Chains A and B, each alone.
Chain A
């Protein structure tokens, strides 16, 4: 059972995705990325797997959209609209099927994407996990929500600004001095 508040979020993001796909233009990739960035904020609050799945879908779609043909885009829009209809009607089995098909539509129809899809999805989880870190969630919490290991997230986030926030209340002199004392340096 999907919570009402999450359902609203999912519908909202799927409608926006459908709108972006319906308007052909060079900015589709950027717009999808921005949309997934907004969605991740709701992921941080709701911690819901269905919402995570939609967020990962939107982000990875943004990554591959330039390689997807107009016909395939139409298929995607159609399936997104089915997903919206099913979730509105609480037909969750059918909704899940539509989400599965959305990923499969990309997989089936684009050989290039087919090869890289796993990487694209994994990268989407890692990037979204780093955003959750930046929002203030702990490493374990962010990795756990995105279905990642800490190794995946930490090795990526360390090279970004995701972990740079907040002022240090303990001066480095003090922390270093404590460490030196502990090891009798």
Chain B
């Protein structure tokens, strides 16, 4: 009897370990809508399939991100073709739609974020539920990797005191912060690792994927790197000029 229990227990432990292994070994990155918009508008979206292959895992988007990338712009003449471009990537499997969104976590995080600051006695809604989906799903899968160009949520996740300073500055000290909620939000998202489209473009550059664009001029490499980084920035990636200079310094050294 004791032996049977021991075998059962071992099986149970093994199953748990296997599950953990499966979770750990599934390489997954979640994409927010921002970086895909930045890359499409910069005409650099073609690097995505190459990066995916190099990554050797899955590129996921959530249903809310798909809605923002495809379902809304397909109805707007100005962005109809961009929507078709993203649809093609989904069709070809570059992006997969992750349907199993932990809605309770999304809701909890959204409530925490949007009750962290009050302005004139009213909660300040700084983020939307849809934006929280990628982060919550990344937490759920254990991948913890998110590509996000949007600055507000990134700032909130990485350094909530900066978020507080920003709101105080922009609303002229009318802001009352709820430190408990702010810190609870940050603590729950502590493990999340964020990169931006500008880093994806840097990876592509470093891999030589962009070499066909090298002009036949002096300082060609710097010109190309500068061009793609600024294209990404001006199409919506929240990156500072100092950071762009730093990337150039690090890559070109």
A151 partner residues in chain B, CB cutoff 8 A: 37, 41, 72-73, 76, 78-79, 82
The size class of the interface chain B forms with chain A is 35 or more
Is B240 engaged at the interface, CB distance under 8 Å to the other chain? yes
B247 partner residues in chain A, CB cutoff 8 A: 172, 176
Distance A149 CA – B194 CA, assembled complex (angstroms): 23
Is B206 engaged at the interface, CB distance under 8 Å to the other chain? yes
A184 partner residues in chain B, CB cutoff 8 A: 54
Tell me which of B1-9, B96-104, B217-225, B229-237 binds A.
Answer: B229-237
A1 partner residues in chain B, CB cutoff 8 A: none
Q: Assess the B54–A137 pair: CB atoms within 8 A.
A: no
A139 partner residues in chain B, CB cutoff 8 A: 34, 131, 150, 152, 236
* Cβ proximity bits A141-172 to B, threshold 8 Å, 1 near / 0 not: 10010000111101101110001111111101
Distance A136 CA – B175 CA, assembled complex (angstroms): 12
Q: Assess the B37–A150 pair: CB atoms within 8 A.
A: yes
Is A114 engaged at the interface, CB distance under 8 Å to the other chain? no
The size class of the interface chain A forms with chain B is 35 or more
A21 to B: closest C-beta gap in Å = 28
B237 partner residues in chain A, CB cutoff 8 A: 158
* Cβ proximity bits B177-209 to A, threshold 8 Å, 1 near / 0 not: 000000000000000011110011011001100
Q: Assess the A166–B202 pair: CB atoms within 8 A.
A: no
In the complex, chain A residues 44-67 whose Cβ is within 8 Å of any chain B Cβ: 44-47
Q: Which of B122, B236, B246 contacts A157 (CB 8 A)?
A: B236
Is A179 engaged at the interface, CB distance under 8 Å to the other chain? yes
Q: Which of A144, A165, A185 contacts B151 (CB 8 A)?
A: A165
Q: Assess the B235–A137 pair: CB atoms within 8 A.
A: no
Q: Assess the B152–A183 pair: CB atoms within 8 A.
A: no
Given contacts A149-B68, A150-B68, contact A140 B150 (CB under 8 A): yes
B190 to A: closest C-beta gap in Å = 13
Distance A180 CA – B247 CA, assembled complex (angstroms): 12
Distance A172 CA – B239 CA, assembled complex (angstroms): 10
Q: Assess the B152–A172 pair: CB atoms within 8 A.
A: no
Q: Which of B150, B238, B251 contacts A164 (CB 8 A)?
A: B238
Distance A135 CA – B170 CA, assembled complex (angstroms): 5
Distance A140 CA – B195 CA, assembled complex (angstroms): 18
Q: Assess the A166–B162 pair: CB atoms within 8 A.
A: yes
Distance A152 CA – B80 CA, assembled complex (angstroms): 12
Distance A141 CA – B54 CA, assembled complex (angstroms): 33
Q: Assess the A183–B55 pair: CB atoms within 8 A.
A: yes
Q: Assess the B122–A45 pair: CB atoms within 8 A.
A: yes
Is B167 engaged at the interface, CB distance under 8 Å to the other chain? yes
- 9 contacts across the A-B interface (CB closer than 8 A): A141-B127, A151-B79, A154-B149, A157-B236, A158-B235, A159-B234, A172-B247, A179-B200, A182-B195
Chain B interface residues toward A at CB < 8 A: 29, 33-34, 37-38, 41, 51, 54-55, 68, 72-73, 76, 78-79, 82, 119-120, 122, 124-128, 130-131, 145, 149-153, 155, 158-159, 162-163, 165-167, 170-171, 193-196, 199-200, 202-203, 206-207, 233-238, 240, 243, 246-247, 250-251
Chain A interface residues toward B at CB < 8 A: 41, 44-47, 133-141, 144, 149-152, 154-155, 157-159, 163-170, 172-173, 175-176, 178-180, 182-185
